[in-house]
Amino acid sequence: MAGPDAVELSRRAFLTTGLAAGGGLLLTLNLTHAAQASDPIAVVPAAGAELNPFISIAPDGVVTIVAKNPEVGQGSKTMLPMLVAEELDADWSQVRAEQALLDPIYGPQFAGGSMDTPLNWEPMRRVGAAGRQMLILAAAQAWEVPAAECDASHAVVQHRASGRTLSYGALATRAAGLPAPDLQSVTLKDPKDYRIIGQFTGGVDSARVLEGQPLFGIDTELPGMCYATYEKGPVFGSRVVRANIAAVKAMPGVRDAFLIRGSGPEAVFQMGLVDGVAIVADSWWQTQKALEKLRVVWDRESSPGQSTAEFERRAAALARELPQAIIRRDGDIEGAFSHAHKVLEGAYSYPFLAHVDLEPQNCTAHYKRDGSVEIWAPTQNPAPGRTLVAATLGVDEGRVTVHMTRVGGGFGRRLSNDYMVEAAVISKRVGRPVKLLWNRRQDIQHDAYRPAGFHYFKAGLTAEGRLDAFRDHFVTFGQADQVASAAGLPGDHFPAGFVPSLEYGQSLIELRAPTGPLRNPGGNALAFAFESFIDEAAHAAGRDPLDFRLELYGPDRVIPSPPRSGRPQPPFDTSRARGVLGLVAEKSGWRHRGELPRGTGLGLAFYYSHYGYFVEVVKASVLPDGTPKVHKIWAAGDVGRQIINPAGAYNQAQGGIFDGLGAALHQRIVLEGGRVVQENFNTYGLLRMREAPPVEVHFRITDNPPTGLGEPPLPPVLPALCNALYAATGKRIRKLPVDPRELRSA
């Protein structure tokens, strides 16, 4: 049950995060305090009168709504304003969404953990309702009638008794002069009255993207700007000894080339500034031509033991020993195994993965003569980037302005801000605005990788075919005795709590490469191992894998979740798990799978993560050369009582499923001597159109707070695929990516 702890929320004085009635996360924004915050960079150009930091209304009725979080393709720049506009009773055709600057006035600003919805569902609606209340009061004052006699709808306030009306545009200036109401006091709509929430709403910037407008970070252009490339050592953490700087400087268009010293040995793991050579030129193509001439001597050309093959040998050796640490132990595991009717074991593993955002890492920075810094960055997590820039350059944070550009894919990579500090340092050195753009090799070879992992499972079954004992010796990665970023196994991970005797043990392999969260951190790896082995257990028990799971979850009940990063978490509701399992079984024809032709199989897997309950069924067979063929995928998800924007919701679910499918079929980052081998999409594959089967997505609406969809749909597809391949061929995939040679008919 991986929680969204990828991002540590920064708590600010006027922000409190808590658990709302009904189990949802509630974030409270106090706009009165926020309006008093005196931040010199809190300048979002308001089109018209500003009712609060999120809402401005122009005399012509155009409503500008600030979207506070970065848009990385998750749809926040459309969805967050929809929440405000709904309760404001604005006319969506008159709404313009505007990306916020990084500013404490808006509270936490990040894209991660599928948290846009759970953190903003209620506060953004309250912001809109507060604006509506101010507009009604402004009209009441104009008419000298009680506010209670007035209503608002479709951007117009009406006095019921007299029938008089005033448009929002006409009222905005007067409303802006009124005190902001306490957000907790405002009344929210009955959901049956929603006109915007729940409607298929296209992305607010989509038309501009298709006109080729410069919205992305890579499109930033400033007067006097030059272009930069930054070459780091292929061995992580290596330092520059010397480089042929003079030869590089002699290349056409090159303005400067220089060594940059990193911030220290830990910077490589913290995604800070590390050693490298910067080349600055009049065009980016010229930086790449000069880069071909660059020869750097690094202090280390290889890192002993830091190879994928060596890690595999080390994991197998560790598995023969006792775990170095026990994460969780329930019941009497050895006793349960000795009494078990049947015992099975399985060794599972998965590789390192890169994020490969299609827009390569980049940032445009301008270190100005007055010592201030202005940044244009495609980042998911601008606040730590600003801190990193300020600390590295030795400037006050208040002197660093961060513009959040549209982001050409995040997937967790851009929670780190290494590209941001590099651009700022290079700009300071050359005294001009600089656009730093990584090439694809640099992007793949300098990532914060999804950690590889090894699971040595053992399960004990009763004579009735029930799961009675479960053990995982998880061999993962760390630095010294610390588990590497995104490389942990939560103690409450399923089936913990659902099996009488259970042990999760852990051993670490030293890793000298950075790791970090990738879309559904933890779940994107753990689901494959655990849900495949659960499927093995079901087959060993002679049970239908669906029935086996339904029985494991047991009767409908609510199981409390432990807090994560100090934040309370909603409980796990077995009725929601069983609900989506039943729904997908019905839609996929699961109970009739015996009628499928020989060689075609259905596989099923469930995963709960980021508050979302998702189950997927894959229908697959295998071509004669062993290549898996996916015929169709069915998904059922439960993210609460409201799908806010169906346009985004189905797209996220389908895309997340294909993302997982591509990882299962193609993706593997290989380390050799501390270097990443892969360089481009020819050796690191993404799913392509011809491999993308039809996907049916079904949402089960339950009376729970709405939660996010960026991550929960991804994990189940990996084990569902492998379970389908088992059903089709009798061959069990225990190592990712799927190796067609293992599936070839003999």
Site for other proteins in 276-335 (CB under 8 A): 283-285, 288-289
The distance of closest approach from Cβ of residue 661 to other proteins in the complex, given in angstroms and rounded to an integer, is 8
In the list 102, 294, 407, 635, the residue contacting other proteins (rule: CB under 8 A) is 407
Exposed/middle/buried for residue 395 (C-beta within 10 Å: 0-12, 13-18, 19+): middle
CB 65 within 8 A of CB 84: yes
Q: Which one of 99-107, 256-264, 409-417, 483-491 is the stretch in contact with other proteins (CB under 8 A)?
A: 409-417
Site string for other proteins, 347-376 (x = CB under 8 A): ---------xxxxx----------------
- Binding to other proteins (CB under 8 A) within 577-606 occurs at none
Nearest CB to other proteins, comparing residues 203 and 451: 203
Q: Tell whether residue 411 is a contact of other proteins (CB under 8 A).
A: yes
Nearest CB to other proteins, comparing residues 138 and 356: 356
Sequence-separated (6 or more) residues with CB below 8 Å from residue 211: none
Exposed/middle/buried for residue 216 (C-beta within 10 Å: 0-12, 13-18, 19+): middle
What is the residue whose two structure tokens read 């699961």?
Answer: 590
The SS3 of residue 732 is: coil
Distances (CA, A) of 24 to 14, 188, 704: 20, 16, 8
634: Cα separation from own chain's centroid: 22
The SS3 of residue 176 is: helix
Say how many Å lie between the first and final Cα of the chain, rounded.
39
Site string for other proteins, 210-229 (x = CB under 8 A): xxxxxxx-xx-x-----x--
- Binding to other proteins (CB under 8 A) within 628-647 occurs at 629-632, 647
Nearest CB to other proteins, comparing residues 506 and 621: 621
Q: Which one of 142-150, 199-207, 540-548, 737-745 is the stretch in contact with other proteins (CB under 8 A)?
A: 199-207
Q: Tell whether residue 404 is a contact of other proteins (CB under 8 A).
A: no
Nearest CB to other proteins, comparing residues 224 and 394: 224
Q: Which one of 209-217, 238-246, 321-329, 580-588 is the stretch in contact with other proteins (CB under 8 A)?
A: 209-217
Q: Read off the tokens for 358.
A: 């299609």
CB 473 within 8 A of CB 507: yes
In the list 43, 161, 209, 701, the residue contacting other proteins (rule: CB under 8 A) is 209
Q: Given its phi and psi angles, is residue 674 left (phi above 0), alpha (psi -120 to 50 degrees) or beta?
A: left
Q: Tell whether residue 517 is a contact of other proteins (CB under 8 A).
A: no
- Which H or E run contains 647? helix 646-666
- Binding to other proteins (CB under 8 A) within 106-135 occurs at none
Nearest CB to other proteins, comparing residues 605 and 661: 661
Q: Tell whether residue 265 is a contact of other proteins (CB under 8 A).
A: no
Counting residues that bind other proteins (by CB under 8 A) gives 72
- Binding to other proteins (CB under 8 A) within 65-104 occurs at 72-75
- Binding to other proteins (CB under 8 A) within 434-463 occurs at 437, 439-440
Q: Tell whether residue 695 is a contact of other proteins (CB under 8 A).
A: yes
Structure-derived torsion over alpha carbons of residues 19, 21, 22, 27, reported in degrees to the nearest 10: -40
User: What's the rounded Cα separation, in Å, for the pair 72 and 358?
Assistant: 11
Q: Where are the alpha helices (DSSP H) in 589-666?
A: 646-666
493: Cα separation from own chain's centroid: 19
- Which H or E run contains 581? helix 574-588
The distance of closest approach from Cβ of residue 697 to other proteins in the complex, given in angstroms and rounded to an integer, is 9
602: Cα within 13 Å, side-chain hemisphere = 24
CB 448 within 8 A of CB 516: yes
Sequence-separated (6 or more) residues with CB below 8 Å from residue 689: none
Nearest CB to other proteins, comparing residues 187 and 206: 206
Nearest CB to other proteins, comparing residues 286 and 349: 286
Nearest CB to other proteins, comparing residues 128 and 360: 360
Q: What is the DSSP letter of 532?
A: H
CB 629 within 8 A of CB 621: yes
The distance of closest approach from Cβ of residue 296 to other proteins in the complex, given in angstroms and rounded to an integer, is 20
**Which amino acid is residue 158, in one-letter code?**
Q
In the list 592, 682, 703, 730, the residue contacting other proteins (rule: CB under 8 A) is 682
Nearest CB to other proteins, comparing residues 220 and 507: 220
Q: Tell whether residue 384 is a contact of other proteins (CB under 8 A).
A: no
User: What's the rounded Cα separation, in Å, for the pair 128 and 85?
Assistant: 6
Q: Tell whether residue 654 is a contact of other proteins (CB under 8 A).
A: yes
In the list 295, 341, 591, 688, the residue contacting other proteins (rule: CB under 8 A) is 688
In the list 46, 145, 316, 692, the residue contacting other proteins (rule: CB under 8 A) is 692
Q: Tell whether residue 139 is a contact of other proteins (CB under 8 A).
A: no
Q: Which one of 130-138, 156-164, 405-413, 460-468 is the stretch in contact with other proteins (CB under 8 A)?
A: 405-413
DSSP 3-state percent helix, strand, coil across the chain (nearest 5): 30, 25, 40
Distances (CA, A) of 31 to 76, 106, 121, 286: 21, 9, 16, 49
The distance of closest approach from Cβ of residue 106 to other proteins in the complex, given in angstroms and rounded to an integer, is 22
Q: Tell whether residue 687 is a contact of other proteins (CB under 8 A).
A: yes
